[in-house]
Amino acid sequence: MKIAFPGRNLLFAATTVALATLNLQCRNEAKSEAKTSHNETFLKVPEGFSVEEIGKDLGAVRHLTVAANGDIYANRSVLKDGKAILLLKDKDNDGSIDEQIPFGELPGTGILATEDYLYTSSNSAVFRYQLNDGHEILDTDNPEKIVDGLIDMGRDNAKPFTIDGEGNLYVTVGSWNDACRDQENETGLMPCTLLDSAGGIWKFRADTPGQSFGDGSRYATGLKNSVGIAWNFETNSLFATDHGRGGLHNFYPDLFTEEQDGNLPAETLYELRENDNAGWPYTYYDPIKKARILAPEYGGDGEKTGGEDAIAPLVAFPAHLGPNDLLFYTGNMFPERYRNGAFIAFHNQSPTLKQGFFVAFVPFKDGKPEGDWEIFIDNFAGMDLAKPEGNLKHRPCGLAQGPDGALYVCDDFGGSIFKVSY
Q: Give the CATH number, domain containing residue 415.
A: 2.120.10.30
pLDDT at 183: 79
From CA 332, how far away is CA 347, in angstroms rounded? 27
Could you tell me if residue 30 is inside a domain? yes
User: Per the structure, how many domains does the chain have?
Assistant: 1
Could you tell me if residue 117 is inside a domain? yes
Minimal CA–CA distance to 392: which of 402, 407, 382? Answer: 382
From CA 101, how far away is CA 114, in angstroms rounded? 19
pLDDT at 11: 33
Query: What average pLDDT score do residues 41-52 get?
Result: 90
User: pLDDT averaged over the chain?
Assistant: 91
In what order do the strands lie in the sheet containing 83-89?
61-66, 72-80, 83-89, 99-103
- What digits encode the pLDDT tens for the residues 9-45? 333 333 333 433 333 333 334 455 554 444 344 899 9
Minimal CA–CA distance to 37: which of 56, 53, 49? Answer: 53
Note the residue count of the chain.
422
- What digits encode the pLDDT tens for the residues 354-364? 999 999 999 99
Could you tell me if residue 1 is inside a domain? no
From CA 92, how far away is CA 365, in angstroms rounded? 38
Domain interval for residue 287: 8-421
Q: Given a cut of 60, is residue 114 above it in pLDDT?
A: yes
Could you tell me if residue 332 is inside a domain? yes
Give the predicted TM-score (pTM) of the model. Answer: 0.91
Query: Which of 22-36, 89-103, 283-297, 389-403 is predicted least confidently?
Result: 22-36
pLDDT at 24: 34
Query: What average pLDDT score do residues 317-333 get?
Result: 98
Q: Given a cut of 90, is residue 64 above it in pLDDT?
A: yes
CB 172 within 8 A of CB 159: yes
CB 3 within 8 A of CB 18: yes
